[in-house]
Chains A and B, each alone.
Chain A
Amino acid sequence: GIQVEQSPPDLILQEGANSTLRCNFSDSVNNLQWFHQNPWGQLINLFYIPSGTKQNGRLSATTVATERYSLLYISSSQTTDSGVYFCAVAREYGNKLVFGAGTILRVKS
């Protein structure tokens, strides 16, 4: 099956810093989503981005489908950005998503 690798596994930032999270996947995909799992365990969908670039406030994401990777940018980080960021993909149009292991982000004030 498709493999999803996320890097880095852990990241500690000072409040206000910027960061880039990476997601590599082993096969072509028609569905790619980024999620944030907050410290209370809630999963929030950040982007549906099988290709191209999207921005939402301080967050943006870019997927280069031909090269099988996606990047999540967090600018001017805040302590509320802390949590685990997951990349999830599916080969077909659907939601049998394969999740990466996540990037644990800690933002310190």
Chain B
Amino acid sequence: NAGVMQNPRHLVRRRGQEARLRCSPMKGHSHVYWYRQLPEEGLKFMVYLQKENIIDESGMPKERFSAEFPKEGPSILRIQQVVRGDSAAYFCASNYRQGVSGANVLTFGAGSRLTVL
């Protein structure tokens, strides 16, 4: 089992460009979460998705950010017209089920580090 795979690991963009971050959950996991870690801070929840559905996007900025988890393929976090404040580490995590205590353990990917010049 390859774990949660994120790519790219490092991404550099100039202001105004688009950033696309990809996340493949662990095999058998159908729940995906995106978190953002600003420098020197803890992680903050952004969005929770199941296949083809956004369940909770209460942590997503209202503009420029979007996420999807299609029926086939990885989950994508898309940031349009990036600004310097978007520079952060973006972590994806997955689990296989909600509502059952043993299933609540999140497995995190290694993160994608976005630098906006």
Contacts and interface: CB of A to CB of B under 8 A. Distances in A.
A45 B108 contact: yes
Interface size class on chain A is 20 to 34
Given A41-B89, A43-B111, A93-B99, A99 B104 contact: no
A65 interface: no
B1 interface: no
A94 B50 CA distance: 13
Contact of A43 (B95, B100, B108): B108
B43 A88 contact: yes
Interface string A1-35: 00000000000000000000000000000110101
Given A86-B42, A101-B41, A101-B42, A95 B107 contact: no
A63 B102 CA distance: 16
Contact of B98 (A40, A88, A93): A93
A95 B108 contact: no
B69 interface: no
Interface of B: 31, 33, 35, 41-45, 48, 56, 58-59, 89, 91, 93, 95, 98-102, 104-108, 110-111, 113
Interface of A: 30-31, 33, 35, 40-45, 48, 50, 86, 88, 90, 93-102
